[in-house]
Amino acid sequence: MSGPAGRIGARVKRGDDPRLLTGRGRYVDDVTVPRMVHAAFVRSTHAHARLARVDLDRARRAPGVVGVLAGDAVARLCKPYRGVLLHYKGMKTGAMLPLAVERVRYVGEPIVAIAAESRAAADDAAALVGVEYEPLPAVLAPGAALAGAPRGSSVRDAGAGDPRWLQRRWRSGGDGSARPRF
């Protein structure tokens, strides 16, 4: 059998197998260059919260740390960016910065970036960052967001640009078809 269907479940010998299977593969983690540093991030543990305090002092003094960067410093270094989907006209994200400033908007949002001489030193310094949160209401379902979320639960600031990323309402044409209505 030829074509992709004939290959499903079949053994396929790859040219790089001997090198990889005998431990002679080279991966990005194996590459070192002069003055290279390793990065670790402190990430949010809350879906929506105000950053009451971010203590960087102990992390800055940790052995092997080259630099510690928080959201307020990033805000001075770069402008907010937007994600735009070219194939979906009108779809865009709210204005964002690489690190959270004043509040977090999702679990895992980066708050602090740490650069160190080794990955272990970066991870150790990240563990020394103290973050205190003031949790805010989180809207967890699209229906709740459309129905009117509790006051203060908006994850985007009104001043961050156009608050309407994309709005589309659908209605039935009576013949079973759905048509967009803007």
pLDDT tens digits, residue range 127-164? 999 999 999 988 777 777 667 655 555 555 544 444 44
Can you spell out the DSSP letters for 61-79? Answer: HSTTEEEEEEHHHHHHHS-
| Per-residue confidence (pLDDT) for residue 131, from 0 to 100 | 98
Distance, CA of 38 to CA of 53 (rounded, Å): 25
Using a cut of 0.85, tell me whether the model's pTM lies above it.
Answer: no
Rounded average pLDDT over 23-50: 92
Domain CATH code at residue 122: 3.90.1170.50
Is residue 132, in this structure, part of any structural domain at all?
Answer: yes
| Per-residue confidence (pLDDT) for residue 9, from 0 to 100 | 85
Domain count, the chain: 1
Q: Which domain holds residue 126?
A: 34-138
Rounded average pLDDT over 44-58: 96
Residue 161's Cα: distance from chain center in Å?
20
- Annotate 106-131 with b (16+ C-beta within 10 A) or e (fewer): eeebbbbbbbbeeeebbebbbebbeb
